[in-house]
A and B are shown apart, each in its own frame.
Chain A
């Protein structure tokens, strides 16, 4: 505990906690929609092509965070434009991802000192966040959360009930593309904590665990944010006191949350939601 208190005086530690906090907020909310829309593969592609973007930006001496955001956003628009029909989306994502990663390999090869930076982006580097990075991340988070608040109702409607939503005049296809961009921003944030390769631990698991805990959509988002906060802040703390990379603890905490939600808490919390009188009707 003393050790942690001493660490908290360092700016990089304060930056890590602050960044972890805003990242968890964004990921918690976004991951509910990622799970409900069944877009795990899309998240993965946005992250890997965010890596390509970061590699390209580092190559020309620009911020890797902006590179991530650019890479994932361009990919989001590309997938949105090509895969407007949901049925072919996985294929489009796969085709795009393969090409983009190839470019990433090219950029690494062109930049000889890339190894450390590449490792950071692939596996996470929360303790390397500068004040400037932090400001950028807070900015991205605010834009993302405001956008999500604005489209919350029609996006929820279009996610669970697209046919009726379309009949009620909801712009289902356009919302799909807007959500891809929201995902791109969330991916650029989450990569800071867990890196490209472990992105799903913050973008899928909190939302998946949350739906085991409540049948109410609003509460599911609250649970998801809570679990994301626990994993991120808990992971940073454990990493600081043990010197093991942060993604190790974030992934472990996130998996543990899912198991607890699914097998220990979930069944009890949800057992009374359905009156027995109508069972089997």
Chain B
């Protein structure tokens, strides 16, 4: 089958969790080399979609194709960056040990004395500009530093596709920008594609090509300009929603949650407008 140009393809995919459909009839093609943001409220199934691409859950209906074949557990061509979660302060693990897992952590045995892997670790660390703290215990690093090392971990295996699950959550604005730039730079240099789950589009607004917006099992895909409009989001949320552009930021404001749909994205709610002055 000709799959040129597509790094992932969904054909009438339904994903169920605990017997409840969270994605219904998703048909979408992710072109190679594109940066796709997957946006939606918490619990809307964004992570499940990534897990399906990783081969960890099978769709209950439809077909998924990733890099020309069915999703495979542990596909080395896919790099994965999870949400920031802190490590124990005293965990004996350095940044470079975490990065090393990205190369051979899944292999059996002890794995001593592999010079080539060591060199790849160093290269990946240099790529994310983390050399200065790569030998410190990982639990003592800041959230932004840890996320840089996680990106190095994902890139160390030379993936063709990067899946990121809320990699900017719990980071301050400055680190959000830094991490977003790293991922965008990798995409530019490698020609790989990025699937980026987020509840806030703003930190990646400059680099994103396509948006997949999901609310309560309904979804819409297209360019940010097509999707992030009051009309499209009102349709998705089934409740009146305004998309407002303020100081280069996009803010989604819902008029009520009577329909049972909550706009949970903290960055979209008015209080954060106070800190829009942070450097971009």
Contact = CB atoms under 8 A, between A and B. Distances in A.
Interface residues of B, number: 41
8 contacts: A164-B154, A168-B101, A211-B90, A215-B137, A270-B137, A273-B137, A275-B132, A278-B145
B232 interface: no
Interface string A155-166: 011001101111
Nearest to B78: A167
A210 interface: yes
A160 B91 contact: yes
Given A154-B105, A210-B92, A281-B145, A168 B132 contact: no
A62 interface: no
Interface stretch (A111-119, A144-152, A239-247): A144-152
B7 interface: no
Interface string B96-118: 01100110111111110000000
Contacts of B72: 169
A91 B101 CA distance: 31
Contact of B91 (A151, A165, A211): A211
Contacts of B132: 275, 277-278
Interface string B64-78: 000000001111001
A170 B136 CA distance: 26
Among A36, A151, A166, A210, max chain B CB count under 10 A is at A166
B93 A150 contact: no
B186 interface: no
Contacts of A274: 133, 136-137, 140
A216 B97 contact: yes
Contact of B93 (A152, A217, A275): A217
Given A212-B90, A217-B93, 12 more contacts: A150-B108, A153-B111, A161-B105, A164-B82, A166-B56, A167-B82, A169-B75, A215-B137, A217-B97, A220-B92, A274-B133, A275-B132
A16 to B, nearest CB: 30
